[in-house]
Amino acid sequence: MSGTTEQSPAAPEFRVWAVPGLPEVAQGDDLAKLIAGAEPGLADGDVLLVTSKIVSKAEGRLVHAADREAAIDAETVRVVARRGPLRIVQNRQGHVMAAAGVDASNTPSGTVLLLPEDPDASARAIRDGLRDALGVTVGVLVTDTFGRPWRAGLTDVAIGAAGVRVLDDLRGGTDAHGNPLSATVVATADELAAAGDLVKGKAAGLPVAVVRGLRHVVAEEDGEDGEGARAMVRDARDDMFRLGTSEAVREAVTQRRTVRSFTDEPVDPGAVRRAVAAAVTAPAPHHTTPWRFVLLESAQSRTRLLDAMREAWIADLRRDGKSEESIARRIRRGDVLRNAPYLVVPCLVMDGSHEYGDERRDGAEREMFVVAAGAGVQNFLVALAGERLGSAWVSSTMFCRDVVREVLELPEDWDPMGAVAVGHPAGLPKPRPERDAGAFVVSR
């Protein structure tokens, strides 16, 4: 019996090696020419992994800085977390990393090395230079060392890229068992950077590595440099872990803004309930719980309340002798509530309050409860900001409490404390004027 033997397809494989023989890099050096001289056997489809430090040196990013902390400040856009002298920050390139990437190691005394100004542009320049020098089309990654949340140890990642598919989006496909892939986007560039670091090492003086055998990740046409490593920086709206440690509270507070224009996107009721859970952690007198939150989740309930409040307001304004034009203008100011996709009416209850029998002490008792109610609402607004929801707290229900209680069928001892419009902001907030905290402080 005779026949042919079918051979299985070769298993995927690749090689990675460090490039020896590179000289010490100085400002003005042509990295592409140096790499071509040290590794003239580069081939189409290779991926070159270049440590950011030598790119920075060639681009003159060595700067005099007697104080490294000042240099970190200058490169920092946003502090994410801080513990003692260590700062995790977002730098000018958009990367979240320790010390903004400012490096004081292996540099002359009194100097620091900054990251490349535009790592994607640096990668493109090296790629173009290697095409001119060797006639090859390669991919180039500029790499740097990152720590990672929840994981010990450091690894290299790509901060600049040219001619490399940095992300492999598998969403819409299926796995080996036919299950749909709905959230799988592979960070190909970071995987390549980490592979290169295994052979470059951190202290071996080998700043460049080559990966061969993964030609499919390299763009082969001239001018196809790709979207660069910038595409790997997560957008703020999609970053679930944007805030750091103690900075989380400060950032959430400062991000809380009064939003008066909302999109039509529905509000997640779960997000509002999580914000209520944060609200009821506020301090209150006598171990009481003076907060109640009425959630108006249907359009019918919102319209019924707002229509009744409008009629009550119009009646009040007419009693005050206001003109119809003035009344119409004032009524339009309430559109922030009518245009919001979700309304919340916070209420104050005095359960557990003390009665002292004299006006002064009873008045102070109520003030304590009102302050506690305000603290709860502030918690609520800040938590909404943490959920990426906009809000506007307006006082309107306080002027017609009987109407609100009647329409919403609330107990007589529930005092509405305004209303909170909730929704997804229709645009970016305007810059808030800077306030000097010292202007609000008196020391004794």
Same domain membership, residue 260 and residue 223? no
Q: Please say if the pLDDT value at position 224 is more than 90.
A: no
Paired residues of 350 in beta bridges: none
Is 247 within a domain? no
Same domain membership, residue 168 and residue 115? yes
Q: Please say if the pLDDT value at position 284 is more than 90.
A: yes
Q: Are strands 342-348 and 415-416 parallel, antiparallel or unpaired?
A: antiparallel
Among 238, 273, 291, identify where a domain stops.
Answer: 238
pLDDT digits (tens, 9 = 90+) for 299-348: 999 999 999 999 988 888 889 898 888 888 887 766 778 889 999 999 99
Is 282 within a domain? yes
- pLDDT at position 279 is 95
CA dihedral 265, 270, 274, 276 (to 10 degrees): 80
Same domain membership, residue 288 and residue 187? no
Q: Please say if the pLDDT value at position 248 is more than 70.
A: no
Q: Please say if the pLDDT value at position 56 is more than 90.
A: yes
pTM comes to: 0.63
Confidence of residue 12 (pLDDT cuts 50, 70, 90): confident
Mean per-residue pLDDT, 107-125: 92
Is 4 within a domain? no
From residue 78, how far is each of 134, 248, 357 by CA, in Å? Answer: 42, 12, 53
Tell which residue, 65, 124, 125, has the closest CA to residue 100: 65
Is 10 within a domain? no
Same domain membership, residue 271 and residue 216? no
pLDDT digits (tens, 9 = 90+) for 160-192: 999 999 998 777 777 777 777 766 788 999 999
Confidence of residue 245 (pLDDT cuts 50, 70, 90): low
- pLDDT at position 178 is 75
Confidence of residue 60 (pLDDT cuts 50, 70, 90): very high
What is the total count of domains within the chain?
2
Is 248 within a domain? no
Q: Are 379 and 274 in contact (CB under 8 A)?
A: no
Cβ-in-10-Å burial (0-12, 13-18, 19+) of 101 comes to: buried
- pLDDT at position 28 is 96
Q: Please say if the pLDDT value at position 2 is more than 50.
A: no
Paired residues of 254 in beta bridges: none
pLDDT digits (tens, 9 = 90+) for 351-410: 998 988 888 988 999 999 999 999 999 999 999 988 889 999 999 899 999 999 999 999
SS3 of 314, please? Answer: helix
Same domain membership, residue 210 and residue 291? no
CA dihedral 243, 264, 425, 92 (to 10 degrees): 60
pLDDT digits (tens, 9 = 90+) for 14-42: 999 999 999 999 999 999 999 999 999 99
Q: Please say if the pLDDT value at position 133 is more than 90.
A: yes
Tell which residue, 14, 21, 26, 13, has the closest CA to residue 40: 21
Q: Please say if the pLDDT value at position 252 is more than 70.
A: no
Q: Range of 190's domain?
A: 15-238
Same domain membership, residue 308 and residue 161? no
- pLDDT at position 386 is 80
Provide the CATH number for the domain around residue 419. 3.40.109.10
User: Residue 22 carries which DSSP code?
Assistant: P
- pLDDT at position 65 is 81
Among 172, 203, 238, identify where a domain stops.
Answer: 238
User: Which one is predicted more confidently, 402 or 434?
Assistant: 402
- pLDDT at position 298 is 94
Same domain membership, residue 193 and residue 158? yes
Amino acid type, 384: L
Provide the CATH number for the domain around residue 75. 3.30.1330.100
Same domain membership, residue 341 and residue 194? no
Same domain membership, residue 263 and residue 206? no
Tell which residue, 174, 188, 185, has the closest CA to residue 217: 188
Same domain membership, residue 89 and residue 201? yes
- pLDDT at position 1 is 40
Q: Please say if the pLDDT value at position 78 is more than 70.
A: yes
CB atoms within 10 A of CB 7: 6
Same domain membership, residue 436 and residue 351? yes
Is 365 within a domain? yes
Is 8 within a domain? no
DSSP track, 58-118: HTT-EEE-S-HHHHHHHHEEEEEEEETTEEEEEETTS-EEEGGG-B-TTS-TTEEEPPPS-
Q: Are 262 and 390 in contact (CB under 8 A)?
A: yes
Q: Please say if the pLDDT value at position 6 is more than 60.
A: no
Q: Are 32 and 130 in contact (CB under 8 A)?
A: yes
Same domain membership, residue 230 and residue 260? no
Among 211, 238, 265, identify where a domain stops.
Answer: 238
Is 251 within a domain? no
